[in-house]
Structure 1
Amino acid sequence: MIEVEHLSKVYGSTTALQDVSFAAQPGEILGLLGPNGAGKTTTMRILAGYLPATKGTAAVAGFEVHVDPMAVRQRIGYLPEVPPLYPNMTVEGYLHFVGRLKGLSAGDRPQRVQWAMEQCNLQDVQKTLIHKLSKGFRQRVGIAQAIVHNPPAIILDEPTIGLDPRQIIDVRNLIKSLAADKTVILSTHILPEVNMTCQRVAIINNGKVVATNTLADLKAQQTEQLIYELDVQGELDSVEQSLQSLEGVLTWQWLSEQPSERRKVRVTCNPDPQVGPQLTHTLVHAGVAMYEMRRLGTSLEEIYLELTTKEEVDTSAESEIDPAELPVSDAIRHPTSSSEEADPPNAEDLS
């Protein structure tokens, strides 16, 4: 559904993206994970048609962004980090306005607006002015404007940033429900969002994709050793001799300083899945009682830190861009963040 190949973006002498490639399939939630300034927002703006790429290609449903941008915009819904909302419009009026901009016919628009509000649980606030809504509800309105034309692909930039825990859970569930028949790409620098929401992750650091895989496979690829924590009872010499006799055991460390009949030991082994069963068999055969054996996995945090702290990140390429310099999408031009901004023309007719 979404394919990015060898994408690069250069601002003057600064390279924001360098040879970025990844793909997202229908029904999949792909997370773009990386520190602030890594290039996530630049990637999404290129996919959404807001910025041109310097090199490479980006395609949605077979249409390349730089060749047929209007066809791409008809097939994506885009939520920037700051939702492009008009605060003096009602929720319903704003969605009608966006639906008209996105080419929905007058006959289809009421049904599509109602569907978007139902998907985002906005029915109770549909007549409310947007500036009176909480941040969580404004984020829902932002997602509703992205899906009102029912696109097959959705691009969400930091969709849970600044929300409280209850609102984060609600937005997570909404994103998962949308992925039932759509492709979703979301960017974040918050690790729990990836764990709780995404099936696959592309980690971006300093404008480059440093890893792309499912979370389970990514952890397996980065694991060079297996670590087991054992709760055993037996003679100290018997335990240590058993551990020393196993070829796959690299080191061990006793976790209890005071001598006792029952103690815990942490064992580091080669990344061979057969070492665990061999370890159990050898200890039991030596007369050691085993109360517990637990494998310690590599956390996503450890992988993330390993992949993103190799170089200092240059944040200059991810500085804010004046919305006036951006091309107008078929969705909506970025309004300013000022609460005093005037409504668009004829907005009162749509409220």
Structure 2
Amino acid sequence: MIKVENLTKRYAGITAINNLNFEVEKGEIVGFLGPNGAGKSTTMKILTSYLPATSGRATIAGFDVFEQSIEARRHLGYLPENTPLYTDMRVNEYLRYRANLKGVPGRKLKQAVGDVVELCNLRDVERKLIGALSKGFRQRVGLADALVHDPELLILDEPTIGLDPNQIRQVRELIKNLGGKRTVLISTHILPEVEIMCSRVIVIHKGKIRASDTAENLLKNQRTAGSMRIEAKVGTDNAAADLGRLPGVKDVSVEKDGDYSIFQLRLEANTDPSEEVMQLAFKRHWIVRELMRRRPTLEDVFVELTHSDS
């Protein structure tokens, strides 16, 4: 559905993206991740024909986004980070207007608008002025706009930005339900959402692709450390030093909570010293009230891939 080959964009003295190569297959929901300034929005603007590239090639459904821009855009819906809406229009008239602009035939227009109103849960506000809607409902109107011409591909730039937890959950469920029938490329900083929604992750940093794989494989293949939390009464023992000598423990920090000490252990990748910790506690007669191992998350992988200056 999306194919990007050697895509580069340069501004005066700045290379925003450098020789990008990636593909998104039909029916995938792909998370497009990176720090601020990594090149995510630039890439999305090029794919949606809002911005020309300096060099390279990108196609949507087989159509070149530069040479066949109109044909390519017929196959995609785009929700930018800041949703541009006409606030003095009512929801239903705005969606009819946008459907007309996107070439939805008159005989199908009413059905098309009705379908996205239902899909995006806008029935209760369809006659309200957009300017009177909450941020969450405005995001849904923007998503309905992106869907009204029934595109095969959705490109969503920070679709949950500024939403409260309930609104984020609603938008997340809506996006998940779009998978399979439609292809979705989504940029977001909410990494737990990516693990829930996306079948694959692309990480970009300083204009270059750093990784492209499933979240599961990224967690498995990266040298990403986990951590462990231990709360225990250790008496006068130098427990931090004892714990720090265990295999797989990179470093230990400690703080006090009354008679208990709280130890945070940073672990080597793919290690679990739980058994050794308990053997040590038993040997030293420590009273343990909590031992919890935190497995690496996508956030840990993201930090590892994007923390360097290279």
Report the TM range for the smaller structure's normalisation: 0.7 to 0.9
1:94 is matched with which residue? 94
Distance 1:254 1:163 in 2: 36
Please give the alpha-carbon distance, in whole angstroms, between the structure 1 residues aligned to 2:183 and 2:11.
Answer: 29
Relative to structure 1, is the Cα distance of residues 33 and 270 closer, same or farther in structure 2, using a 3 angstrom cutoff? closer
Structure-2 change in CA distance of 1:266 and 1:144 (3 Å): closer
Task: Give per-residue Cα distances to partners, 1:60-102, cap 9 Å, x unaligned.
Answer: 1122212311111000000111112111111111111111111
Evaluate the alpha carbon distance shift between residue 173 and residue 64 of structure 1 in structure 2; reply closer, same or farther with a 3 A threshold. same
Separation in 2, partners of 1:167, 1:4: 32
Unaligned 5+ runs, structure 2: 232-245, 257-261, 279-289
Mapping of residues 61-210 of structure 1, within 5 Å: 61-210=61-210
Distance across 2 between alignment mates of 1:269 and 1:167: 36
Shift of 1:299: 2.3
Q: Is the 8 A contact 2:252 2:265 kept in 1?
A: yes
Give deviations 1:196-226, integer Å, cap 9, x for gaps.
3222211122211211111111111113678
Secondary structure at 2:106 match in 1? coil
TM-score, length basis structure 1: 0.71
Per-residue deviation, 1:227 = 7.2
Q: Quote the sequence identity (%).
A: 46
Aligned to 1:18: 18
Q: Give, in whole Å, the separation in 1 of the partners of 2:266 and 2:301.
A: 18
Q: What is the rounded CA distance, in whole Å, between the counterparts of 1:13 and 1:3 in structure 2?
A: 27
Cα deviation, 1:317-347, whole Å, max 9, x if unaligned, reads xxxxxxxxxxxxxxxxxxxxxxxxxxxxxxx
Q: For 1:285-327, what per-residue CA distance to the aligned partner results, in whole angstroms no more than 9, with x for missing partners?
A: xxxxxxx997642222222222222129xxxxxxxxxxxxxxx
Report the equivalent of 1:217.
Answer: 217
- Kindly tell me the number of residue pairs found equivalent between the two proteins: 310
Q: How big is the shift at 1:138?
A: 0.7
Q: Distance in 2 between matches of 1:44 and 1:274?
A: 40
Within 5 Å, give how 1:203-282 maps onto structure 2.
203-223=203-223
TM-score (norm 2): 0.80
Residues in 1 aligned to 2:155 and 2:110: alpha-carbon distance in whole angstroms: 24
Q: Which residue in 2 is equivalent to 1:311?
A: 309
* Mapped contact 1:117–1:144 kept (Cα < 8 A): yes
Asked if the contact 1:33/1:194 (under 8 Å) is kept, the reply is: no
Deviations 1:162-213 (A, max 9, x none): 1111111111111111123101011122323323322221112221121111
Distance 1:13 1:213 in 2: 32
Question: Offset at 1:269?
Answer: 8.7
Distance (whole Å) between structure 2 residues aligned to residue 178 and residue 77 of structure 1? 12
The alpha carbon displacement at 1:265 in A equals 10
RMSD: 3.8
Q: Tell me the CA shift for residue 273 of structure 1.
A: 8.9
Taking the aligned partners of 1:224 and 1:41, their CA distance within structure 2 comes to 27
| Offset, 1:271 | 6.4
Contact in 2 for aligned 1:152/1:183 (Cα 8 Å)? yes
Structure 1's unaligned 5+ residue stretches are 232-245, 257-263, 281-291, 313-351
In structure 2, what is the Cα distance between the partners aligned to 1:86 and 1:149?
18
Residue 249 of structure 1 contacts residue 269 of structure 1 at CA under 8 Å; is this kept in 2?
yes
Q: Is the 8 A contact 1:223 1:298 kept in 2?
A: no
Q: Residues 29-86 of structure 1, C-alpha deviation per residue, up to 9 Å, x if partnerless?
A: 1111112221111111111111111112211112221231111100000011111211
Which residue does the alignment assign to 1:28? 28
Q: Where does residue 342 of structure 1 map in the other structure?
A: none
Q: Distance in 2 between matches of 1:182 and 1:155?
A: 11
